Chain A
């Protein structure tokens, strides 16, 4: 069984990360009835017995003593991390995993990347190494951060340099158009470049989509229609049953992202009839190195309390996964071009359910000509808490193009006027060329998606086969 290390950066990264650890503990508590430290737990947690003299690491099979998260928490401002350390999750982290400073990066990519990045590089690498050493087979880094903020003190570039063999899956929260951080377009575009060049997979998530999903669920649960009562604890936004008591403002949205990470890793942690490991995700969904932006969608959003016909509910789940309301960025993949798609089913679904739904939905989904059957499927037997089954869809789809174009437009609006530029350029090590290189990278990425889009719907002839001399 492999392990993963979660690297949470900045305020957003740490708030999402905090929800992730809470829900992960809840999920394992639900499944792990015997209190033994098993392979599944070891993928995200270490088992530590502080009474032992050698540092206390316990192997698989023993009783759970103290679970410590395999995580590194970085924030140039100490507020969020301090809150975590005072909250119910404080036992899960220890001080060797944290790196904080006092004043923050001021929403300035240059400050985060150059000033703090170089000052703290050694310490960061040190903490990462420690986390890595505790793993006997590290498969993946999960990096969680927001694009709009300035916290670029640790990014996938550094991870690639220090740990080139380890897969880097980055969860990036993209700012909405009405973001309260004015310089978020600059930060986002600058960050995009290193994501395109150094991450293995990126899961882009837009705040606005999370808001929409939360609203939808709240409206459902307050609609008061008889027969449409939502089962307790069964929404993807609920943290009920976790350690934290009252829910804080962004918790609902962050729970969605946390559930995304739990679902992606479910097949690597739990058994199933068709396993889908993390390295298989990168292998199957990334046909060309730079096009590794995978649009996630999670269904169901909630489970109704009454028992409806199971098969119909299952099929509805598959249909929903492709609807634009369930995507975690504001995009409509059904009307763009699919390069590849992965379906990760959890719970009591069988291969025949998968096949039936793929057959049913395929005609309405445009796939690129050389990958007409571009489906990667996985079946995990353990469902998430509160549901009998769930589906995670990851789509490598050209519908990310409008998102990126919009980002570029917002960037250009600011850059043309040179608004706030001096804040960046006055940072030591920062040059104007960073901006132009970043925009070039983004433009060529958009161009690559555009090129693929242009082939959509066109009947591409099959490549002529090799002919054998008779």
Chain B
């Protein structure tokens, strides 16, 4: 029932810190003893003095971010990281996946494994592992991939969820597409599910829905934490028989990633608004669910600018040519409802077979979790975790740009000098073209 989180690189550590902050403050709100206990058990362990210590291991190849995350947690006063649950080096990975994967990863393997082992042993029962990282840089991507590989070897029966942050399309790091391609290709073989947040999407949510004028990375990270938290907090599932599920990662994986070719998950939540507006808004489940369903079908990641023209294909005959280009076919969906009157919510719209691929019956494809406890101050909120074509276009763009750069062999010498070859690049490209092809064919 406990999840151990490994935060890797600057992004992983910054987002991870926001996540634990949110989980703690949500759990401690109001009078909900069972929820609060379940949530704290899942993410924190209590010391003899009653302090909450996050079940997390912080890894980075340079110390500044980890130091900042640790001290911010202490300053907040409600929870903290374990005193020795972190590992950092002096010199970063230089945005070089090969440096992270071939040099730093192996060099520090033993230390990191030991730290994770200690956290795992502190859990009564391990629900699984979650690795948080970005794919653009060198440590999150390279060391993160290596660490995931080690964890897969050591805990073959445990569920491993990788949470990835994809960079802005217009570049934060010039070689980000190389790093992304190498990471995704490797993780596809190692991970049980890959949950993705794109900086571009979250940025738009901040500016258009939350009305933030000067968006900082803290704002972006808080939105990611909210969405991730809404998935990870305790919920009642079909298999949990009236109590909060004790196997959240396992149930997530079995609900959504039943086929090894399809592991990419996207998430959207509704409503999302600035905290000052929440008090003045009232929501109804029918309204929320209608919007969420259309967001799924038209592949819009937020409740503004939804294209209501997009409809699922009619009739039982479905081939690629009949479904319009803007219709987003799903393999599987997980709907999580939290808040007031959750038992009266009508979710039939999501069970429509027209939304799903033909080879999986909609009873298998659609999954529902509920929690009567409001999440993060929203009286009612709905989260949809989708295994669908939503990430197909961004993935295709990323691979396309990386391929163009590879065609001119730019920057390749930087990777080769740390130990990967052009062959390795080609293998990664091939794997991802396969993934793109599989998702394109989904109908």
Contacts and interface: CB of A to CB of B under 8 A. Distances in A.
Contact of B217 (A288, A351, A465, A470): A351
A446 to B, nearest CB: 19
B170 A283 contact: no
Nearest to A282: B94
B215 interface: yes
A271 B64 contact: yes
Interface in A19-36: none
Interface string B88-111: 011110111000000000000000
B429 interface: yes
Interface stretch (A92-100, A102-110, A171-179, A371-379): A371-379
Interface in A358-416: 358-359, 362, 369-377, 379
Nearest to B399: A465
Nearest to A280: B95
A351 B216 contact: yes
B206 to A, nearest CB: 8
A136 interface: yes
Given A350-B214, A375-B170, A377-B171, A370 B410 contact: yes
B153 interface: no
A330 B434 CA distance: 49
B359 to A, nearest CB: 16
Contacts of A287: 410-411
Interface string A428-442: 000000000000000
B279 interface: no
Interface in B375-403: 399-401, 403
Contact of A280 (B92, B220, B410, B429): B92
Interface in A219-255: none
Nearest to B213: A352
B66 to A, nearest CB: 11
B403 A463 contact: yes
Contacts of B404: 369-370, 462-463
B94 A283 contact: yes
A283 B175 contact: yes
B36 interface: no
A136 B63 CA distance: 14
Contacts of A277: 62, 91-92, 94
Interface in A320-366: 340, 350-353, 355, 358-359, 362
A371 B410 contact: yes
A275 B65 contact: yes
Nearest to B207: A352
Given A350-B214, A351-B217, A283 B10 contact: no
A351 B63 CA distance: 22
Contacts of A362: 170
A305 interface: no
Interface residues of A, number: 47
Contacts, number: 138
Given A277-B94, A462-B404, A466-B433, A352 B215 contact: yes
Interface in A159-216: none
A60 B105 CA distance: 27
B12 to A, nearest CB: 13
Contacts of A286: 411, 414
Contacts of B94: 277, 279-280, 282-283
Contacts of A376: 95, 171-174
Given A351-B220, A355-B203, A468-B437, A374 B214 contact: no
Interface string B422-436: 000000011001100
B407 interface: yes
B408 interface: yes
B122 interface: no
Contact of A273 (B217, B399, B407, B433): B217
A114 interface: no
A467 B405 contact: no
A1 B63 CA distance: 7
Nearest to A289: B413
Contacts of A39: 63-64
A274 interface: yes
B284 interface: no
A1 B64 contact: yes
Given A288-B410, A351-B215, A466 B429 contact: yes
B34 to A, nearest CB: 37
A2 interface: yes
A467 B433 contact: yes
B229 to A, nearest CB: 21
Given A279-B91, A340-B174, A352 B214 contact: yes
A131 B63 CA distance: 23
Contacts of B411: 283, 286-287
Nearest to B10: A275
B355 to A, nearest CB: 24
B419 interface: no
Contact of A470 (B170, B399, B405, B437): B437
A119 interface: no
A285 interface: yes
A284 interface: yes
A359 B168 CA distance: 12
13 contacts: A2-B91, A137-B89, A137-B90, A137-B91, A271-B68, A275-B62, A275-B92, A277-B62, A277-B91, A286-B414, A358-B171, A371-B405, A465-B403
- 10 smallest beta-carbon distances between A and B, as pairs: A279-B94, A463-B407, A137-B90, A287-B410, A352-B215, A375-B171, A373-B171, A284-B174, A350-B216, A273-B217
